[in-house]
Amino acid sequence: MTTAQTLFSHIPATSSLLCDAAFQPLLEEFGHSRVVAVLRVLQDEARAQIKREDQLPDWCDNWSHKVHDTLTTHSHSTLRPVFNLTGTVLHTNLGRALLAEEAIAAVSEVMSSAVTLEYSLDAAGRGHRDQTVAALLCEITGAEAACVVNNNAAAVLLMLAAVAEGKEVVVSRGELVEIGGAFRIPDVMRQAGCQLLEVGTTNRTHLADYRRAISDNTALLMKVHTSNYHIEGFTHAVSEAELVTLANESNIPVVTDLGSGSLVDLTQWGLPPEMMPQQLIADGVSLVSFSGDKLLGGPQAGIIVGKKSYIDLIQQHPLKRALRADKMTLAALEATLRLYQHPETLIKRLPTLRLLTRTAEKIAAQASRLQPLFAHRFGTQFTVSVDLCLSQIGSGSLPVDRLPSAALTFQPKDGRGSSLVALSQTLRELEYPILGRITEGRLWLDLRCLEHEALLLETIAL
Ligand SMILES: *Cc1c(COP(=O)(O)O)cnc(C)c1O
């Protein structure tokens, strides 16, 4: 026999491995089909290595260990919980808002039971799936009617398609924004079958610009919240209130894509001001859309509030069926909105507001508590300090405003950028990955979003 043939004969048969005592716990934990699937891949890998290098891979002396390793690494490769110490509270790539306990409980209840999603117990007939949530949204915002879809991008598409298909939509040049990904207002208009009519300039748009643009073919005047950028200097924009007065002369609606849409006045906690949907409804805007998982602090959802006649058009549009929210989203949103009925306990119970309102002093005290433990683990290579920093709200909310916060910072003693990259890699590879950010020659762990301090300590101690 050649060396290769001898080595091939050292690769055990699947059936004999499965009878091995070491494989019994694996079969129990991961199931027969997954263990066999991994074994096949590993056997192929071993054969390939023999062909390439005339030797068996090292792990061939312990197949059960290798299978266990592979299966646990794979089971980690999906959605993993991480410590968001990036300093951005509503981080789109990390799933934005954390749900309140009440919302989590509501979701888990509807997950395991049949529910009255489109069923009214009184009439024993078919109800409307947005009904309960819509009633709460109307109560909070003062709107006549409301509708919930998968996210705000869907809400914007649906408003345009239902109210303006085949007609013109007037938008200021300063508001033709890209939100991120492929969501750009001009493209969404095209998808919804509307014609975009740009008015004004990038920095200045006046009421007269809108007035000149209105014709028999105008379906609506649209405002888009420039949530993720800010222009300063010689600027002018027309408010919704002014637009409504103009639009009423021609009996056309004003529609606003508000983006974040906080349902409470954030300035009461010293946070920067953010336009609320209730203000726009009071100004006479016909439809306002916003996200469920930005400042509202709920599940991913797109919310449309406004005049009943337009919401009815939206509810009947075929795209509504394609974009509708599921029972878990509706349950989480309903429970979140109920928290707004008790404004005095809101900042304790709603994680988004709880995190946004943590003071720099509290966060700095937490950083000082943790500093010695991090210094113990990383102190040979890094100077670990407590430093003040600025957090961001994120998700395009209030892009220029920053919240005073505190961070643990790591400065490499060898002064090398590569040491920082290696450290951030080490932190990302922990059992519970820790995500920070590198800037100014240091790694920063902004502790604003650290609520599970004990878990972090455990992660670091391992
Ligand atoms: C965030 C945002 C959107 C997109 O909302 P999603 O809920 O992420 O789909 C659309 N418009 C504006 C102005 C936004 O800020």
**For residue 180, pLDDT beyond 80:** no
CB-ligand 1 contact for 259 (6 Å cutoff):
yes
What pLDDT, on a 0 to 100 scale, did the predictor assign at position 265? 95
Q: How confident is the model at residue 124 (pLDDT cuts 50, 70, 90)?
A: low
What pLDDT, on a 0 to 100 scale, did the predictor assign at position 1? 63
Is the pTM higher than 0.75? The answer reads yes
User: Which residue CA neighbors atom 1 of ligand 1 most closely?
Assistant: 259
3-state secondary structure the chain: CCHHHHHHCCCCCHHHHHHCHHHHHHHHHHCHHHHHHHHHHHHHHHHHHHHHHCCCCHHHHCHHHHHHHHHHHHHHCCCCCCEECCCECCCHHHCCCCCCHHHHHHHHHHHCCCCCCCCECCCCECCCCCHHHHHHHHHHHCCCEEEEECCHHHHHHHHHHHHHCCCEEEEEHHHCCEEECCEEHHHHHHHCCCEEEEECCCCECCHHHHHHHCCCCEEEEEEECCCCCCCCCCCECCCHHHHHHHHHHHCCCEEEEEECCCCCCHHHHCCCCCCCHHHHHHCCCCEEEEECCCCCCCCCCEEEEECHHHHHHHHHCHHHHHHECCHHHHHHHHHHHHHCCCHHHHHHHCHHHHHHCCCHHHHHHHHHHHHHHHHHHHCCCEEEEEEEEEEEEECCEEEEEEEEEEEEEEEECCCCHHHHHHHHHHHHCCCCCEECEEECCEEEEEHHHCCCHHHHHHHHHC
CB-ligand 1 contact for 298 (6 Å cutoff):
no
What pLDDT, on a 0 to 100 scale, did the predictor assign at position 57? 93
Per-residue pLDDT, averaged over 304-313, amounts to 98
**Residue to probe by mutation, ligand 1, list 93, 224, 227, most atoms within 8 Å of CB:** 227
User: Which residue CA neighbors atom 15 of ligand 1 most closely?
Assistant: 259
Distance between Cα 156 and ligand 1 center (Å): 9
Whole-number average pLDDT of the chain: 93
Distance between Cα 152 and ligand 1 center (Å): 5
What pLDDT, on a 0 to 100 scale, did the predictor assign at position 231? 83
What share of the chain in percent tops pLDDT 90?
86
**For residue 182, pLDDT beyond 90:** no
Per-residue pLDDT, averaged over 213-218, amounts to 97
Per-residue pLDDT, averaged over 348-366, amounts to 97
Q: How confident is the model at residue 285 (pLDDT cuts 50, 70, 90)?
A: very high
CB-ligand 1 contact for 289 (6 Å cutoff):
no
CB-ligand 1 contact for 291 (6 Å cutoff):
yes
